[in-house]
């Protein structure tokens, strides 16, 4: 999608610190990290958000989670991380290209705010 921030990051039109990439997804450091590890994992396909995802996107959704687990393993933060989809503006979703937050490397409180 031409006017989408994350599509532009995936296309290399806006710089970002890339963490991982494969055929389905692109992962990069959040510009405003909320934890020592704060990586955004986004599908290369432009999906607006979780509630807009279709049954055919199920494999992509699973792949984002497994990619988060892989990065968590690589960073040795497996004792303390969380994966989050913010859904809708009331939850804090501000970019309308689906993205999974991987937050970790510090103690995480529960429930989240
Ligand atoms: P949301 O609030 O939609 O769940 O998450 C959007 C995330 O994107 C935020 O954590 C925000 O810091 C991050 N973000 C916004 N603009 C940019 C950018 O230009 N580059 C990077 N790397 N992250 C961004
Ligand atoms: Zn997009």
Question: How do residues 61-96 score in pLDDT, each as one tens digit?
Answer: 999 999 999 999 999 999 999 999 999 999 999 999
Dig out the tokens for 49 from the structure.
């958000």
Residues 6+ apart with CB under 8 A from 104: 35, 36, 37, 72, 75, 77, 80, 81, 82
Fold of 5-104: HIT family, subunit A (3.30.428)
Residue 1, pLDDT > 80, answer no
Count of other CB atoms within 10 angstroms of residue 98: 25
Ligand 1 atom, smallest distance to 5 CA: 19
Please indicate, yes or no, whether the overall pTM of this predicted structure exceeds 0.95. Answer: yes
For ligand 1, say whether the CB of 48 is within 6 Å of any of its atoms.
Answer: no
Confidence of residue 98 (pLDDT cuts 50, 70, 90): very high
For ligand 1, say whether the CB of 83 is within 6 Å of any of its atoms.
Answer: no
Note residues around ion ligand 2 (Cβ under 5 angstroms).
1, 4, 6-7, 46, 97
Q: What distance in Å separates the CA atoms of residue 76 and residue 72, rounded to the nearest whole number? A: 6
Residues 6+ apart with CB under 8 A from 91: none
């Amino acid at each position: 999608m031409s006017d989408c921030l994350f599509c532009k990051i995936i296309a290399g039109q806006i710089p970002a610190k890339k963490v991982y990439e494969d055929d389905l997804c692109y992962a990069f450091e959040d510009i405003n990290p909320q934890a020592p590890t704060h990586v955004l994992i986004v599908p290369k396909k432009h999906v607006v958000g979780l509630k807009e995802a279709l049954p055919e996107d199920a494999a992509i959704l699973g792949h984002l989670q497994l990619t988060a687990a892989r990065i968590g393993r690589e960073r040795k933060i497996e004792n303390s991380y969380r994966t989050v989809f913010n859904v809708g503006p009331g939850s804090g979703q501000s970019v309308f290209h689906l993205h999974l937050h991987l937050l970790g490397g510090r103690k995480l409180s529960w429930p989240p705010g």
